[in-house]
Structure 1
Amino acid sequence: MVESFLALEKLMEKLGSRAFEELLLFYCVKNDAEKLKETLTVVKCVVLDAEEKQVHNHQLRDWLEKLKDACYDAEDLLDDFEVQALRRMGHQIKKIRERFNEIANMIHKFNLTLGLDDRKGQAVQKREPSHSFVRPSDIIGRDEDREKIIELLMQTSDGESETVFVIPIVGIGGLGKTALAKLVYNDQRVEEHFELKIWICVSEDFGERQIMTKIIKSITGQNQGDLETEQLQRILRDHLNGKKYLLVMDDVWNEDPKVWDELKSLLWGGAKGSKILVTTRSNKVPSIMGTTRGITDYNLQELPYKDCLSLFMKYAFGERQKKHPNLIKIGEKIVEKCRGNPLAVRTLGSLLYGTTDEHYWEYVRDNDIWKLKQTANDILPALRLSYDQLSPHLRQCFAYCSIFPKD
């Protein structure tokens, strides 16, 4: 329902434009339009609060749905009015105004709070952008996991042939699978053990041609995507032939055994001891990839509470922890609700960075969003909460970005 506020803002912006006001005046419906804007202003004051409280209020969700539909219908009507400029539209604007009046008259039923958007604005902070290389000091609580993965990478059995060995890191979203893979990838021991290192992000794009193009680009820095498949295969084999390589395939989703078998045939020819390290959320991917005897998939567990708390303190306070003991106590409860998920911890730490308002911290701790029932593929409450705290124009940008394909 977070679209309701954006739809409302867009509608009010259109009604307030100079050109549209003149058009309304010309067709003698400006008075109705002014009354409509007054009604929309009243509704706008409480809609942000309604969006947050609708999680456990079915009537409030229905109210927001009605509001959103009315906004869309009104915008469509105004577009028609603007294009066609017909007098009959004046009567329909009156009907739209009556719908919004009915919606506004229901506000008192939900005990909504005015002006919630002002409180949210102070929590939005600019954060340092991410980069491909990871310093070990940036990753908290994964030293033991790193050592276990490196041990698996270094294993070489006496009878090992040129068969491609696969080590999948498996876990739910936000646990830090990619961060762990980067930690391993940049380790000096791994650097010295493998002659060639390759990093590609796979996601849902698992076609043979796409994978070859990404691997070649990682090795050479050149995009060879315009070449024929036969040429790509030849180039790939030339680069892998006789070399002990480490290939990291980040974020693998494909569960089709046939596609993976075709890919393994392309990766044949590396030197003894070559490995493929895979990160995936899917429990099916390891079995489909056909992990070899003696090498098992690595199930990444939740980050221990102590490490989660250290991570939260780093993102929420920086070097200012000792100055805010009361906030730290609230933060401890927030971390508990993150259930060992580093992404959730970092997200809320970043959200709270820069604000010392205890009421705001308590608002995050006690928010009803934590009560939502979650399944493996649902958005984490912490991420939904951070989205809700964005200013309206940033939410609109975020929603726009969501229409693009993954990666």
Structure 2
Amino acid sequence: SFTPDIKQIQDDIAGPLGLKWENCSESERTRKLWSRLTNGEKILLVMDDVWDPDPPLDFDAIGIPKSDNHKGCRVLVTSRNKQVLNKMDCDKRIEVELLSEEDAWIMFKRCARISNSSSKKVIDKGRKIAKECKQLPVAIAVIARSLKGLQHREHELDVTLKSLKKPVSMHGVDDNVVQIYKCLMFSYDYMKDEKAKGLFLLCSVFREDEEISIEVLTRLCIGAGIFGEDYGSYDDGRNQVVVAKNELLDSCLLLEAGQSGVKMNVFVRDVAQWQDKGCVFL
């Protein structure tokens, strides 16, 4: 859902500030948070990855001070959508540029483990694949990691390049975002471990950026029958979860969270849910 969860946002801000609610009403929570953020202490509040919610994000309802009355509190908002920043009337906007073509190639080479000593064909095809990633770090990381160690199998590069060149359109979605989705879908389709695929889809049912423990995943995988009968004990099942998790981490389809948990990027989560519903790009 894209409807803002005001209480959850307030809780996320209050925790690091040591603010306790103590059975406050909704209006009291808002006043108490506003008072804490404007007590004169220098505070940087980061609102990361803000989408275009309906209804719009309301700073007054949350208890976040406006720019004309912040008293030491500064708010940094990041978003993929410029319209979000326009609606929020941000004082200053800083656009993060795409990687340069050369930096994109350097990143691709490092993630795919292509060296200057690789064959000219591999380097040429690698450059073309990197170009299809549109200088987007997420796309580069996912595609390059899926090709890691395949420098001597040129047909794999050909398949990848052909897949990324295939025209795709998604109504109302920015072209760069479409390209990220294409790269993520390719990485999922290319994965050969069915258990890793099952774990990938399972992780998508959790909330975006929610930290998921290995123990929770193990119990769910066993209960959902993702491993079939291919385990003899709980520890066997847990070991298989760890192996599948590591493959997804290596492919940049999961992110590490905490000491041993994982979480899923919002783009990756969308792709997993579309895949699970049998959706296709038209």
Q: How far off is 1:308 after superposition?
A: 0.5
Q: Does 1:242 align with 2:43?
A: no
Indicate whether 1:305 and 2:104 are aligned: no
Q: Determine the C-alpha separation between the residues in 2 that align with 1:275 and 1:346.
A: 32
Cα distance change of structure 1 residues 321 and 257 upon mapping to structure 2, 3 Å threshold: same
From 281, 288, 292, the counterpart of 2:80: 281
1:398 aligned residue: 200
Match of 2:143 in 1: 348
Distance 1:246 1:402, change over 3 A: same
Give deviations 1:174-219, integer Å, cap 9, x for gaps: xxxxxxxxxxxxxxxxxxxxxxxxxxxxx94623322211111233
Correspondence 1:367 to 2:168: no
Q: Does 1:218 align with 2:16?
A: yes
1:257/1:398 CA distance change after superposition, 3 Å: closer
Aligned counterparts of 1:298 and 1:359: Cα–Cα separation in 2:
41
Percentage of pairs with the same residue: 25
**1:207-264 deviations in Å (ceiling 9; x for gaps):** 33222111112333x8869754324642552354112322111111144576424247
**Any unmatched runs of 5+ in structure 1?**
1-202
Q: What does 1:106-121 align with in structure 2 at a 5 Å threshold? A: none
Aligned residues of 2:44 and 2:76 also touching (Cα < 8 A): yes
Which one of 184, 190, 195 corresponds to residue 383 of structure 1? 184
Aligned residue for 1:92? none
Report the Cα distance in structure 2 between the residues aligned to 1:249 and 1:368, rounded to whole angstroms. 33
Task: Give the residue type in structure 1 aligned to 2:83.
Answer: K
Distance in 2 (CA, whole Å) between partners of 1:338 and 1:288 is: 30
Q: Give unpaired runs (5+ residues) of structure 2.
A: 210-282
SS at match of 2:4: coil
Counterpart check, 1:206 vs 2:206: no
Runs (4+) of structure 1 moved beyond 6 Å? none
Q: State the alpha-carbon separation in 2 of the partners of residues 338 and 370 from structure 1.
A: 13
C-alpha separation between the residues in 2 aligned to 1:208 and 1:368?
Answer: 39
CA 1:298/1:236 → structure 2, altered by over 3 Å: closer, same or farther?
same
Q: How many residues align?
A: 198
**Counterpart amino acid of 2:207?**
P
Three-state SS of the structure 2 residue aligned to 1:299 is coil
Deviations 1:110-158 (A, max 9, x none): xxxxxxxxxxxxxxxxxxxxxxxxxxxxxxxxxxxxxxxxxxxxxxxxx
Equivalence map 1:249-288=2 (5 Å): 249-255=47-53, 259-263=57-61, 265-267=63-65, 270-272=70-72, 274-288=73-87
Largest Rg, 1 or 2: 1
Aligned residue for 2:166, secondary structure, equals helix
Q: Identify which of 323, 326, 342 aligns with 2:117.
A: 323
How many angstroms apart in 2 are the aligned matches of 1:276 and 1:344? 29
How far residue 394 of structure 1 moved from its aligned partner, in angstroms, is: 2.0
Equivalent-residue separation in structure 2 for 1:324 and 1:331 (angstroms): 10
Does structure 2 retain, via aligned residues, the 8 Å contact 1:244–1:270?
A: no
**How big is the shift at 1:388?**
0.6
Structure number with the higher helix fraction is 1
Aligned partners of 1:283 and 1:232: how far apart in 2?
Answer: 27
Q: Structure 2 length normalisation: TM-score?
A: 0.60
Post-superposition Cα deviations, 1:340-396, rounded to whole Å, max 9, x if no partner, equal: 211111111111112232221222122366332354254522111111111233222
Q: Which structure exhibits the higher relative contact order, with contacts defined as CA atoms closer than 8 Å and separated by 6 or more residues?
A: 1
Question: Is contact 1:247–1:277 with CA below 8 Å preserved after alignment?
Answer: yes
Instruction: Provide the aligned C-alpha RMSD in A.
Output: 3.0
CA contact (8 A) 1:260 1:288 kept: no
- What is the SS of the residue equivalent to 2:202? helix
Q: What TM-score, normalized to structure 1?
A: 0.43
Counterpart for residue 333 of structure 1 = 128
Q: Distance in 1 between matches of 2:50 and 2:64?
A: 17
Query: Would you say the 8 A contact 2:47–2:75 is kept in 1?
Result: yes
Query: 1:146: which partner in 2?
Result: none
SS in 1 for 2:58: helix
Distance 1:369 1:226 in 2: 56
**Is the alpha carbon distance of 1:258 and 1:371 closer, same or farther for their aligned partners in structure 2, counting shifts above 3 Å?**
closer
